[in-house]
Structure 1
């Protein structure tokens, strides 16, 4: 795999899935999709909190998909402004997912004494996957910022 310091521009085509920070989009899809599915499959007790979690998971899923497709098509043309856009998006996604993970965990703690234990277990799983998605976005953010700084 390529090092982010060796290549200061965004890869194109299938090479997107061969560079370290960019391959993290796959676990971001998996963990974010699981958060989306798990929150959507439970009874919503705190609408504002779980609404934000749903917004973040759908927003990041859609924007990550769009950026991945643009990078694979080579729409960025190797311009440094795309490196800055990628770094900016990763910062926003990391902050959004951190807030969503904390809110999902808070919701899970607040519904601990509910009647249906299955819903509680699903919310625990959603919290775990939200924190895993946050971790992958933060790692991606760090390496995207390093790539941006060196470009």
Structure 2
């Protein structure tokens, strides 16, 4: 059994219009919400074995803040192809994970995160900034992850609902 966590970056700032989209930081709410999601991971015994995040500033910062609050002790890897990725990119990264990884968290952006959640769940789910989806996958190897099966959506947590 594997667990896949999909976390959309927390709320970002639009205060400096000179910054590129890639370089936008978290705003105050985002800096509060990311650790809240990390605490939720810890409370639900969902601390990942590996975190892979988009290198965009808002996603990397979300991953770092959530990881610290969760008590995650591993390194956070960054995958350039997660920046504004399609669902297949998320699934491709998961398929390449080492099978010793039981719980994998991918941190990225919409619309790809929301589309990936819908694809795996078999129905649409709203994934606002800071939203977290958790799937239990009845697979032993990450390479067995398919887009044709619908997986158990354990929960979707949204910061405004906590």
Give the alignment's TM-score, normalised by structure 2: 0.27
More strand by share: 2
- More helix, by proportion: 1
Higher relative CO (CA 8 A, sep ≥ 6), structure 1 or 2? Answer: 1
Q: Which has the larger radius of gyration?
A: 1
TM-score normalised by the chain length of structure 1: 0.28
